[in-house]
Structure 1
Amino acid sequence: MGIGRRVADKKGKDISESPQETNTNSKSKKNRRRQKKMSPVQKLFKTCKEVFASGGPGIVPPPQDIEKLRAVLDAITPEDVGLKPDMPYFRTNTIQSFPRITYLHIYECPEFSMGIFCLPPSGAIPLHNHPGMTVFSKLLFGTMHIKSYDWVADLPPQTPASLQPMEIQSAEVRLAKVKVDADFTAPCSPSILYPADGGNMHCFTAVTACAVLDVLGPPYSDQDGRHCSYYLNYPFSNFSVDGICTAEEEKKIHEWLQEKEKPEDLEVVGHHLSLI
């Protein structure tokens, strides 16, 4: 077979092998061209399909998949999604007390969703959770304050013995530990939160005009019990709960969270963004 191949190479024609080689070479070239044409957002979409293919509520992708998706997300720029800080999405309406948030929907399926939150200066997304989800967030531009929490493990909701110095709407509160409380300015590394840690409850406040690209796996689904819950937060010293004692330095990084209805002043307008 080796001799026949060498002879075919010399003559430049081999009826049994040349067409197959030409076919393979042609396909290889097409694949290379297709890879070259793939945009950063299309690459993100393809990576999400691979990473979340066998996922589900509470299932965290393997570390190598987490890193692969993080790296792809980290490479995306505002230019890749066609956004600039001077666009209408990022302007503050002086008539509104609370700036309107715009959500640019890119893609959603049962396994994951992709979208971009556009926040004008002072725009805020209140404290909320991500039940059973692994969430990747990339700040595309701007400066944003992020505060996030994780529940204190093995401590269910409590009924405070004391409601001083203020009464609350319901009796139950739950202790959470502050994971992050800081300003972030783009460019910065994507943040990743997990179903039980990494800051599963968080809130965003735009210091300047901001755009945040979010990937959720799996996405919210009311019919599957993954609805978005909102919370009030209170200092640890606000309530006294029997049997819970915390050292002084620990009190600073622990707060009580209380579930509440969706804020009436939260206005999120949705638009579709065709990028894949």
Structure 2
Amino acid sequence: MSQLFARVVRQAIATFDRKNVASFNKNFSVLKQLVDQLTPCDINLNMDLTTDEAFSRVGKAPVTYVNLMEDEEFEFSVFILRSGFTMPLHDHPVMHGILKVMSGSAMIESFTKEEATGSAGQQLLYDPDAVRIEVVQDEPRLCTNNDESVVLTPTKRNYHEITAVGGVAAFFDILSPPYDSNIPFYGRRKCSYYRVIPRNGESGKRTLERIPPPRDFYCDRGNYEPPDFLRA
């Protein structure tokens, strides 16, 4: 059993428990520091899933999805991308997330929404009917298992695409709350996909236009043997 992974699970429970909202920022920072230390061995990831051979069979999806655990407040998962494949640009509506590369190299390109306010003056974090979204492009990051995790929040780096560079890449993901969870004011949220439109004369600023789910992006599921403490 990985003591570190058990600590990550306990810290995630404390972080995303709505009773602990007053200490959220401190708890989230501790959670990130723990995730920074994770290795494939800690989470009991089947490394056979991360080889070129695993993606060579006929009909294999370009992405393998491994569900580690999920409850109403958060989900843990691993995504394994075929060499050269890009997980298309997508959003994380009103979510916090932590992404840690487990093996290989991944280029992460993120975008942050320009601030927008509603009629009552509150900041609009998510508009399910928006077709175009004004954003600022963040500095791209090439990450390996030796790098710190990457963080997204409801207001920062909430749109991203991920490319496996130079071979198969696998990354561990925490998202809170999970997609489809029902949260106050915003309701249930779906994952949406986008294409990038540059804005003339505005360096670093882009427009994201919502598109249908790309046909070349689909996943199959990888087997997972959870540690004993997750079986309880």
Same fold (TM over 0.5): yes
Asked if the contact 2:181–2:189 (Cα under 8 Å) also holds between the matched residues in 1, the reply is: yes
Tell me: CA distance 1:70–1:115, structure 2 relative to 1, closer, same or farther (3 Å).
same
Matching of residue 264 in structure 1 with residue 215 in structure 2: yes
Unaligned runs of 5+ in 1: 1-36, 157-170, 238-247
- Name the residue aligned to 2:177: 218
User: 1:1-276 residue pairs with structure 2 within 5 A?
Assistant: 39-54=3-18, 62-83=24-45, 87-91=48-52, 92-93=55-56, 100-154=62-116, 172-197=131-156, 199-207=157-165, 208-221=167-180, 224-237=187-200, 248=201, 251-271=202-222, 273=224, 274-275=226-227, 276=230
Flag the structure with larger Rg.
1
Letter in 1 for 2:153: Y
Letter in 1 for 2:212: E
Structure 1 residue runs of 4+, over 6 Å off? none
Secondary structure at 2:80 match in 1:
strand
- Name the residue aligned to 1:25: none
Distance in 2 of aligned mates of 1:82 and 1:176: 37
Asked if the contact 1:220–1:228 (Cα under 8 Å) also holds between the matched residues in 2, the reply is: yes
Asked if the contact 1:148–1:178 (Cα under 8 Å) also holds between the matched residues in 2, the reply is: yes
Asked if the contact 2:194–2:208 (Cα under 8 Å) also holds between the matched residues in 1, the reply is: yes
Secondary structure at 2:88 match in 1:
strand
Distance in 1 of aligned mates of 2:23 and 2:91: 19
Tell me: CA distance 1:143–1:228, structure 2 relative to 1, closer, same or farther (3 Å).
same
Asked if the contact 2:102–2:144 (Cα under 8 Å) also holds between the matched residues in 1, the reply is: no
Q: TM-score, normalised by structure 1?
A: 0.68
Tell me: CA distance 1:55–1:260, structure 2 relative to 1, closer, same or farther (3 Å).
farther
Asked if the contact 2:8–2:35 (Cα under 8 Å) also holds between the matched residues in 1, the reply is: yes
- Name the residue aligned to 2:121: none
Higher normalized contact order (CA 8 Å, seq sep 6+, divided by chain length): 2
Tell me: CA distance 1:60–1:84, structure 2 relative to 1, closer, same or farther (3 Å).
farther
Asked if the contact 2:50–2:170 (Cα under 8 Å) also holds between the matched residues in 1, the reply is: no
Deviation at 1:131, TM superposition (A): 0.6
Distance in 1 of aligned mates of 2:34 and 2:159: 24
Deviation at 1:63, TM superposition (A): 2.2
Deviation at 1:235, TM superposition (A): 1.6
Secondary structure at 2:189 match in 1:
coil
CA RMSD of aligned residues (A): 2.7
Distance in 1 of aligned mates of 2:57 and 2:108: 24
Asked if the contact 1:155–1:174 (Cα under 8 Å) also holds between the matched residues in 2, the reply is: no
Deviation at 1:272, TM superposition (A): 5.0
Asked if the contact 1:90–1:210 (Cα under 8 Å) also holds between the matched residues in 2, the reply is: no
Asked if the contact 1:93–1:99 (Cα under 8 Å) also holds between the matched residues in 2, the reply is: no
Distance in 2 of aligned mates of 1:61 and 1:139: 27
What percent identity do the matched residue pairs reach?
A: 23
Greater share of helix = 1
Residue-by-residue CA offset, 1:225-261 (whole Å, 9 max, x unaligned): 2110111112213xxxxxxxxxx4xx23111110111
Q: TM-score, normalised by structure 2?
A: 0.80
Letter in 2 for 1:48: A
Tell me: CA distance 1:123–1:82, structure 2 relative to 1, closer, same or farther (3 Å).
farther
